[in-house]
Structure 1
Amino acid sequence: MPIRHLIFALFLPVTAWAQSPLSEIEWLDEPSPVRLPGTVLLEPPVTQTGLGPEIDVSPLEALPPILGLVSPSVTGLPIDLWRGSAPARLEALISTVSVRQNPAMQTLLYTLLLSETRAPVGSGDQLLLARLDRLMALGATDPAQALLQLAGPTDTQDRFQRWFDATLLTGDEDRACAALTAAPHLTLDYAAQIFCKARRGDWQSALLTLEAAHALDLLPADELALLDRFLSPDIYDGAPPLPQASRPDPLTFRLFETIGERLPTASLPRAFATADLRDIAGWKAQLEAAERLTRVGALTPNHLLGLYTERRAAASGGVWDRVRAVQQFETALQTGSEAAISKTLTPVWEAMKAVNLEVPFADLFADQLGPHSFNDAEIAELVWKIRLLSPAYEDAARTPLVNTRENAFLAALAMGEPNTARPSSPLARAIADGFNPQTPIPQELTEMILDGRLGEAILESMTLFANGAKGNHGDLTSAFATFRHVGLEDMSRRAALQLLLLERD
């Protein structure tokens, strides 16, 4: 299917884009550190003699290309985000940093992965492949495919393999197969060559290659059996189904689909859910895949809403109850009746909580809920907290509400001033400490920032945040102090509000 690069900017909510570029952040206005490279001038040079200055000569290394889908003018991140960092350390951080429970952290990770940046000099494809692998692990298959196509998917076998996998899941495999037909050296996988020859209409060559694979034992027996049925379906008409693959790769998944034995994706890695978004999947499969991907920010809430409202629920229980709840709530919103909205809000909110979709719901409906006044105090407070989870959190904070200690702290936090209110819990205290301008950031992170290793410092801070969310409040304080130090104010507030308002295990 066609890939439009512009849509990938939708992975970055508008509030994330609105932050000041990192070239304007506070720490750059502080006195320059002592340890500056010799090429940085603190003031215009002044000559003391008429002689020409001495010139230091050092060899130049070719700069890696700038790769990304979103401009620095949108993300606020510099091109040299990864400068000076060890590629192996970046790879480890990108692959392991946990963002599953916090949508703000998900947004930040997508921003890092999709922003136009330059890899460290001499790192080869290590950083690019790490970015691609994490995008695929998150289920962001379309952006991974687009990033590869921008980088040059046929430049190396490693790039091609990832591109081929992505296109198999997005339904765009004909493009990758055309490239493989033109350059068979791109893969040593005979199964891929057989599949692509058949897709390109060269059935005779595909059959000959399969016969050679049988004769020379070039493929495992289960792959050979699957390819036999793919190329000769008439021979196996009425045969019992093949044993299901427990850990299929994208090609195996598509081959099972082609022979009419489609594998369920719920137990497979998240990237496979992308395949269920295609029209050939049933509505229930599309709904469940969309929920799974939206939960980690790999799909926009509007896409999920479109599926929720596509038609009437076909049954009851599970996803059908969520479909019905969303449709009833949206109908109530359209009537403008505050009584109808009050009646349908609690059921739909509970339905969204059950599948950890509170923030996407808030992003979709907070603005429509804002103008309404509700006589029911519980509904009014629920609406207020939904708005705090949305990009309009500051507007919500200005709205008067029952002034409990918890609510006063939430409002102060939304305004970026949590230290003006009494923390309502140890978690709130850790957050307030992180927002205190006097709180120092860890020495190791300070050195990274001063060395220009900004991307690495942000990833390390995200790791601290993940530890802090599990109960290590000291790490949480350090994470927020660092985020705010490098200008990630909006993200810090949203992440903190989500920590306090979302019920996560």
Structure 2
Amino acid sequence: MGCVATGVMSLGAAVHGQDAPISSIDWLSDSLATPVVAVAPSNEPPVANSAGIESVTVTPLGAPSPDGIGLIGRRESGFPGNLWGGSELDKLRRLIATLPIEPLPAQQDLIRLLLLTELDPPIGAGPEGFLFQARIDALLARGAVDEAAEMLKRTGSKAPAIFQRAFDVALLQGREDAGCHQLRATPGISPSYSTRIFCLARTGDWQAAALTLDTAKALGHLSEEEDALLARFLEPELADGAEPLPAPERPSPLVYRMLEAIGEPVPTAQLPLAFAHADLRETAGWRARIGAAERLARVGSLAPDRLLEIWSEQKPAASGGVWERVEVMQALDAAVTEADPSRVASLLPEAWAEAQSAHLELPFAALFGPRLEDIVLSGQSAALAFRVGLLTDAYERLALTQPPPPGEMDAFLVALARGLPEEAKAPGVLAEAITEGFTTGTLPETLSRPLADGRIGEAILLSMSVLENGAGGDLDDVTNAIAFLRSVRLEDVARRYALQLMLLDRRG
């Protein structure tokens, strides 16, 4: 991900708001005995719901907020440190929770940059790290488990909600023992019975785990489903000859790992993206590995080189579906490596069609675009190779140094890659809307008002729905999206977004 935000305007300061926890994911493990819930401020006097003694979480006064933590420095990202300005904390969290999961790649890169950049915490940020939690949840929703793990590692926070996420990330990474060790090493954290039993068993204390299960059952703290799963987890022989447990539709990472341990794994294809990492392990079947790799590569959560490695592990033993894609990708890789122009020319159209069918055009371009530059092609294969190159980070260099294929469309694409689409004839209404976006100075009020108030980060988050609508075919929002991106000096994002609108079809 390059520096896409060079020169973004500085922001001012204002007020903040806070509400109950907001998350873009609904499958966190119930790993704590008493989940900590943030409650919105209220003028009503506190009223007890019961006479029981509630758990209290104590946070040192003046503890730093994890909301500013990131993996990308502000200078590298191009964002100013005060990007959030005077935006309300609660509003930022809500906007992050509703970000699209699979937008156009240029938009996806911008989302990741916002989630990963080290920025000044917003006004009202506290040690609970509410914005940090929202960013972690958004990363997990996109399958960016490793990035979430690194962010969590940098917090040093003992806040229960942050521990809960760190525990789940350890499970998603297959690092159960590390998650259990962290649980034991974190004072003030009270695990749920399921978590306690799981960790006792993982550390080899089966007797204590069985005793804890009996205690939990006697106290009525387990559902029938939890009881059945934990019993089989501790005594696998109970499953001999028994019907498999009902597969949960939305398992938590803890439930997923226990089902896997008793030999009843849940297929990850229909689970949230974060679970796909489980199928990247060597123990998974090749088809499952391919499916997981493609899902993650599609949203930028797996490097293209890793995708090619998994595509290339074996020779397909069947035909149709994914096997046709694997076969043609392997053949094209070999032809490009051997610099065989005739073979590349014959394979490239089919390989590109397979990439399109799986929405893997950007990983495909990253894998083959730079290598195709060194192969002399002609006709339609040369035109296709040129367009594939325009989907890479080298789009502007290609437009300035490579002779474009003949035709109105490619002349427009070259002008667009140079940031001057008005210098070429627009080959259709979409191109006209794009050109207007590069030439107009008008923005919709929903975006111009936060800009005028200095709430630039909030405005970028608000623009995500406009970019999404533009990709869906709304021509007015195509113009608005491009005009907005350029107004905050996100020129690279604007050009790549426009090129992807022209070269990829995400409508419907």
Shift of 1:135: 0.7
**Partner SS, residue 333 of structure 2:** helix
CA distance in 2, matches of 1:184, 1:248: 27
Shift of 1:314: 3.2
Over 3 Å counting, the alpha-carbon distance change for 1:431 and 1:222 in structure 2 is: same
1:487-498 aligned at under 5 Å gives the runs 487-498=489-500
AA matched with 1:69:
L
CA distance in 2, matches of 1:20, 1:246: 40
Q: Is this contact kept in 1: 2:341–2:377, CA < 8 A?
A: yes
Q: CA RMSD in A?
A: 2.1
Over 3 Å counting, the alpha-carbon distance change for 1:64 and 1:254 in structure 2 is: closer
Is structure 2 residue 410 aligned with structure 1 residue 407? yes
The correspondence for 2:429, drawn from 426, 430, 436, is 426
1:189-268 aligned at under 5 Å gives the runs 189-268=192-271
Over 3 Å counting, the alpha-carbon distance change for 1:314 and 1:164 in structure 2 is: farther
AA matched with 2:138:
R
Q: Is this contact kept in 2: 1:91–1:126, CA < 8 A?
A: yes
AA matched with 1:142:
D
The correspondence for 1:392, drawn from 391, 394, 403, is 394
Shift of 1:62: 8.1
Shift of 1:116: 0.8
1:305-344 aligned at under 5 Å gives the runs 305-344=308-347
For 1:89, the equivalent position in structure 2 comes to 91
Is structure 2 residue 127 aligned with structure 1 residue 142? no
For 1:130, the equivalent position in structure 2 comes to 134
The correspondence for 2:72, drawn from 64, 70, 73, is 70
CA distance in 2, matches of 1:476, 1:159: 38
Q: Deviations over 1:355-377 (max 9, x none)?
A: 000111001111111132323x2
Shift of 1:187: 4.4
**Partner SS, residue 136 of structure 1:** helix
Q: Is this contact kept in 1: 2:5–2:77, CA < 8 A?
A: no
Total equivalences in the alignment: 456
Is structure 2 residue 285 aligned with structure 1 residue 282? yes
The correspondence for 1:477, drawn from 472, 476, 479, is 479
After superposing the two structures, state which structure 1 stretch, 136-145 or 465-474, moved more.
Answer: 465-474
For 1:46, the equivalent position in structure 2 comes to none
CA distance in 1, matches of 2:135, 2:217: 37
CA distance in 2, matches of 1:134, 1:471: 25
CA distance in 1, matches of 2:283, 2:253: 16
CA distance in 2, matches of 1:111, 1:465: 16
CA distance in 1, matches of 2:323, 2:226: 37
CA distance in 1, matches of 2:224, 2:186: 27
Q: Is this contact kept in 2: 1:265–1:273, CA < 8 A?
A: yes
Shift of 1:453: 1.9
Q: Is this contact kept in 2: 1:302–1:364, CA < 8 A?
A: yes
Q: Is this contact kept in 2: 1:113–1:135, CA < 8 A?
A: yes
Shift of 1:70: 1.2
Q: Deviations over 1:384-420 (max 9, x none)?
A: 1111111111233242234322222111101100111
Q: Is this contact kept in 2: 1:103–1:359, CA < 8 A?
A: yes
Q: Deviations over 1:63-100 (max 9, x none)?
A: 74530011122211222222211112111211212251
Q: Is this contact kept in 1: 2:451–2:459, CA < 8 A?
A: yes
CA distance in 2, matches of 1:311, 1:394: 37
AA matched with 1:422:
K
CA distance in 1, matches of 2:222, 2:375: 64
The correspondence for 2:351, drawn from 348, 365, 382, is 348
Q: Deviations over 1:167-194 (max 9, x none)?
A: 1111112122112223475245211111
After superposing the two structures, state which structure 1 stretch, 116-125 or 87-96, moved more.
Answer: 116-125
**Partner SS, residue 118 of structure 1:** coil
Q: Is this contact kept in 2: 1:359–1:390, CA < 8 A?
A: yes
**Unaligned runs of at least 5 residues, structure 2:** 15-61
CA distance in 2, matches of 1:149, 1:253: 23
Q: Is this contact kept in 1: 2:6–2:490, CA < 8 A?
A: no
CA distance in 1, matches of 2:281, 2:178: 17
For 1:152, the equivalent position in structure 2 comes to 156
Q: Is this contact kept in 1: 2:92–2:458, CA < 8 A?
A: yes
Is structure 2 residue 6 aligned with structure 1 residue 21? yes
Q: Is this contact kept in 2: 1:64–1:120, CA < 8 A?
A: no
CA distance in 2, matches of 1:423, 1:255: 57
**Partner SS, residue 345 of structure 1:** helix
Q: Deviations over 1:133-153 (max 9, x none)?
A: 111111111111211111135
Shift of 1:334: 1.6
Question: TM-score, normalized by length of structure 1?
Answer: 0.86
**Partner SS, residue 367 of structure 1:** helix
**Unaligned runs of at least 5 residues, structure 1:** 1-11, 38-60
Q: Is this contact kept in 1: 2:6–2:78, CA < 8 A?
A: yes
Q: Is this contact kept in 2: 1:141–1:271, CA < 8 A?
A: yes
